[in-house]
Every structure is written in C-alpha cells, then in structure tokens.
Structure 1
Amino acid sequence: MPTAREALLNAALTALAGRPWPAVRMVDVASAASVSRQTLYNEFGSKDGLARALVRREADTYLRGVDRVLAEPGGAAEQLVRLAEWTLDEARSRPLLRALLTGFWGECLPEPRPAGRSGAGPGVPAQRRADAGHPAPGALVAAVRDRSLAALEQGACRRTDEETAEIALRCELAVRLALSCLVAGPPEGAGRLVRAALSGPGWRAAGR
C-alpha cells in the first residue's frame, strides 16, 4: 500500500494527464489520494513543492529504470542499444521525463521553480531533497553515462585510462543519440544510430 506521499504524487500525476498543471488544484489532488489537504501541505509545503517532488520522483524513476536495463544480460554494445531504445520509448510516453531530458518545458507541465531560501518548509527529508532541485538535462545524461560505464566495467579486464575514457564517451553518445531521435527523429532510429556509433575501433576495448 503506498504511503500518503506516494498516493499524493500518483494523484498529481494522474491529474496532470488530463489537464495542464495550472489547472490542477491541490484540493482535488488531496481528495483523489484520500487524504486531507493539510496532509498534502505537510508533505510538500505548496503547489510548487508538489511540482518539485513530482519531477524529482520522475528523475529517480528513470535512473532506476536505467539500472534495470543495464542489468539485463548481453554484450556491451547490445546493452547500450537497448538502453537508447528504452530511453526513447520512455521519454515518448512520459512527458515529465521528456522535459527532464530535453529541457523543453511547455505551459502544461509543472516546471519546478527553485525553493525559496526563506522559511523552513516541510520537515520531510524527501521534500528537502526535492526542494534542492532536479537534475538539469546535462547532469541527467552524465548520470546515465556513469551508470552505463559502471555496468560495463563489471567483470572487465583492466583497461587503460584512454580506453575507459573512450568507453565513457560512447556511453554518453548512446543516450544523446536517443535524445536526438526524440527531438528530431528518425522516429525508430535510436538503435541503428547507436550501433553505428559503436562500430569504431575505440569501442573494441569494451569487449575485453
């Protein structure tokens, strides 16, 4: 059974699917989650706080998904192709994730405003983390790159610094190619582009 906080975030996400964020009312979110409006404010402090928590959860959910995809069996190239295709599919179906990865926030989405420095805000640890801000697109791509590199390093033979740097570059390139397909197409080309990008000689170090 979800906690009150998770139920509220789920209710807010459901409301966002049917209307623009400015039209989402706190009282309706609380009612949909079957909690009091005071509980909602105790958890998030304000509607802006709810927006920050919603976006922070979306980023965390994406990164957990990245870890699951990378944990699936397969060669190094296949793992990154699978990650690129999965990222593209997820971002297409999840508007908040798309905004996080591209930095394009429309009027319908809750682009979180930074938490004010004045006032203590809610004493909820998860909310303090959300209020610290969500990762910018570049930081999120870097996090995916680092997770990909760590997954490919497991059980690998010792590599030179140059080889590791080359593999890290290809890991980042894989997710950036997925984002290029998301923004400009081709609509089904992420896997093909990543395979082409991994065909260079520098990639051979990943299989050692």
Structure 2
Amino acid sequence: MPAARESLLDAAGRALAHRPWSTVRMVDVAAAAGVSRQTLYNEFGSKDGLARALMRREADGYLAGVERALTGHADPRDRLAATAEWTATAARGNALVRAMLTGSWTERLPEPARPGVPSTSAV
C-alpha cells in the first residue's frame, strides 16, 4: 500500500508542523490521510513506527538533495558550496532535518530511537 503509506507520512508531517509530536494522535493522522486507524497500525505498527518512518523519509529526502548537489557540479569547490547551500536550506525549512543534523531535539519532535531505551511517545 505505497499510496496509503505516503499519505500517512504526509499527514503525520502536516500534523507535526502544527503541534508537538506528543499531542499528535494516530486517529487524527489516519483521518487526515483518508484511511482507517487500523490501516495506519498495519503500515507502521505503532506511533513509534510512524515516527521512525517519518524521520527516515525526511533523512532520505535530505540525502537525495546532497547527492543532487554533489553530482550537479564538476568542481569540488562548487560541490561543497552547493552541498552547504542545500544543507542550510533543508535545515531551515524542516525541523526534523534540522534536529537530525544538529542533534538538537525539542519536545515538539518525535524522539529518535536509542537502543535499549524505551520510547515515551507511545499512544
């Protein structure tokens, strides 16, 4: 169900833009995506699973931009400048990317998974 997965990730991202992750409810994400809550749980397993998938998608998008910046220029200095420009733009426009790059997580964002540490974002 790739279309449902993307719709759910989009809905989760929109919800996160307007309120802290701790107040984002699975039922609201499912409704915003136009699917049942069961579909959401089938796709991601839990709120933590949704958070991990959302973070992964944002990281993949950022890295794709880095790759475009690197392959779009022959001169190493131009590559470096393009990568720096992309990094600043991506971090400015996306709180998850900014947190991933800086390690500065706020209560508004889902907690990154840490091995051996139980999550506090379950709902």
After TM superposition, the score normalised by the length of structure 1 is 0.53
Structure 1 vs Structure 2 CA RMSD: 1.5
1:1-208, aligned counterparts within 5 Å? 3-114=3-114
Gaps of 5+ in 1: 117-208
Asked if the contact 2:65/2:86 (under 8 Å) is kept, the reply is: no
User: Max radius of gyration: which structure?
Assistant: 1
Q: Distance in 2 between matches of 1:115 and 1:58?
A: 21
- Distance in 1 between the 2:49 and 2:75 partners? 42
Distance 2:59 2:99 in 1: 10
> What one-letter code is carried by the residue in structure 2 that aligns with 1:103?
G
CA deviation string 1:111-140 (max 9, x = no partner): 133588xxxxxxxxxxxxxxxxxxxxxxxx
Give the paired residue count: 115
User: 1:141 matched to which residue of 2?
Assistant: none
The 4+ residue runs of structure 1 with deviation greater than 2 A are: 112-116
Aligned equivalents of 1:74 and 1:89: distance in 2?
A: 21
Deviations along 1:25-73, whole A, 9 cap, x unmatched?
1000000100110010001111111111111111111111111111213
Q: Of the two structures, which has the highest relative contact order with CA contacts closer than 8 Å and spacing of 6 or more?
A: 2
- Quote the Cα distance in structure 1 between the aligned partners of 2:43 and 2:115: 14
- Percent identical pairs in the alignment equals 64
SS of the counterpart of 1:3? helix
Aligned mates of 2:107, 2:73 — CA distance in 1? 40
Counterpart of 2:89 in structure 1: which amino acid?
D
Flag structure 2 segments of 5+ consecutive residues without an equivalent. Answer: 117-123
Q: Deviations over 1:59-111 (max 9, x none)?
A: 11111111111121341101111111110111011100011011110000011
Name the TM-score, length of structure 2 as normaliser.
0.87
Whole-angstrom CA distance in 2 between matches of 1:53 and 1:73:
31
SS in 2 for 1:78: helix
